[in-house]
Amino acid sequence: MGVPIFCVILVLLGLFVFGKSSQAELQTSIQKAKSVGLCVEPTDLPTGPAASENSAATFAEIQKLTRRSGPYEKAMQKALVYSSSKSATQSRVLAIEAFDDLKPVLDLVSKATSFPSFYKPIDFSKAETWDFDYYDYVKGSVRLELNLARWKIDSNDFASMEQYLANAYKIADQLKYDPAFVGMLVQISLMNLADSEVERTLSLYSANSAAVSACKKALRFRPQAPDLKKYISYDTVYVRSVLSSVKSQSYYTGRKPTRLDRNFDRLFFNSSMKNKADSSLLRKLTEYWPKLSSDPEKWNENFKVLRQYDLSVNSETDLVGKLLSIVAMEYSRPATFLGLIQMHRRLISTTLEIIDAKQRTGRFPTTISKTQEHEDPFSSKQLVYRPSKTGFLLYSVGRDGVDNGGAPRTAKNTKKYDVIVQVR
């Protein structure tokens, strides 16, 4: 009888020592992470220019307006019908109604230059509400603005087109105050959508000085490319919050946990295990953090560093490593998204140079100069430029790095295509 009791005492003593050592290890990791400039606690996050009672009131009002069956949802339903409508008259009516319905929300978000909810410890069990709904709202708002811009382009109303394009960029720019990593991903996506619309306009109306001028004016509101390093630092707070509350699968599915689930959680997701995983996360980020650049132009170098970080996280085979791989973000992929921003900006700036040269000389240039601004970020070669008597083709090989001869993306061709600007 004495032997089993002795064994139980040894096990409990071992767990106590393990728990104490994991806490000490975590504190050491936190201090080292802070020493290289990582945000690791909610209090490390910047408060932003408007983290005040006013922005808290704005936050509450946006929640009210974006609730289910509220003005935002109704507006977006109208916008969706507008986008797919075959009737030009009906499209215009629905587009105007959608914009009018959405305007109160658009006005509010222009005031909400920071969002206090992101500066508090995150309860992951409730994270499906405001913040993700907000991103859907921002994406929908920008798409609505771009739909309206497209309608104005087709109507040759370039002054209005300029305003809607500028609005799209302004809404995307609000996300620069958002410390959540997903905010950066949404911002990059929206900026690329707006840039694609500028490229489409220049392809269709390069000979129209009013259209070109409208594009140039709208581009003044284009946000700066985000700082990947900053967002990774901010996102560390979110990932650590997720890690602290991670439980078994029933926790995510909403299924009522069984006794087996609860025992599983106590055994495998105890505080000591989470501390170990948290400490491992911070150690890895501290190791790779100094190698990263805050310059968005150096996205390719960042991609290589972050790829090594991702591999180091996913190569862990013990239980702590597996737990970490579940919650840790894969940061290398978003680095390539910054390459898309660079690609679109170089396509647009080069296209405007070619159009300006045509206006000065009366013909399109036969070649483009070999400068960094004319380099394709995905091939490390010059953007492909093919002039003709009446226009030109300019393209990037895109993320896959394969030159498909300037083939555009179409409904039938969704794999082997390039990103093109074609003036006929």
| pTM, two decimal places | 0.75
Q: Which of 81, 187, 104 shows the shortest CA–CA distance to 142?
A: 187
Helix (H, G, I), strand (E, B) or coil at 369: coil
pLDDT digits 0-9 by tens, 204-226: 999 899 999 999 999 999 999 99
Cβ-based neighbours of 149, under 8 Å, separated by 6 or more: 160, 161, 164, 165, 168, 197
**Lookup result for tokens 């509350």:** 245
> How far lies 300's CA from each of 53, 141, 380, 419, in Å?
41, 31, 11, 19
pLDDT digits 0-9 by tens, 262-278: 555 555 556 787 888 88
Q: Please, what sign has the CA dihedral across residues 163, 164, 165, 171?
A: positive
Q: How far apart are CA 305 and CA 129, in angstroms?
A: 33
The pLDDT score that the predictor gives to residue 147 is 78
Q: Which of 334, 42, 380 shows the shortest CA–CA distance to 179?
A: 42
Residue 311 · residue 331 · CB < 8 Å: no
Domain boundaries, the chain: 44-223, 225-330, 360-423
Tokens at residue 166, please? 């500028």
Tokens at residue 112, please? 């909400």
Q: How far apart are CA 323 and CA 400, in angstroms?
A: 32
The pLDDT score that the predictor gives to residue 17 is 45
Pairing status of strand 392-396 against strand 384-387: antiparallel
Q: How far apart are CA 316 and CA 284, in angstroms?
A: 12
Q: How far apart are CA 329 and CA 326, in angstroms?
A: 8
Give the residues across from 384 on adjacent strands: 395
Helix (H, G, I), strand (E, B) or coil at 385: strand
DSSP label of 60: H
| Residue ranges, the chain, pLDDT below 50 | 1-2, 6, 8, 10-19, 48-55, 112-131, 248-254
Residue 201 · residue 330 · CB < 8 Å: no
Q: How far apart are CA 416 and CA 413, in angstroms?
A: 6
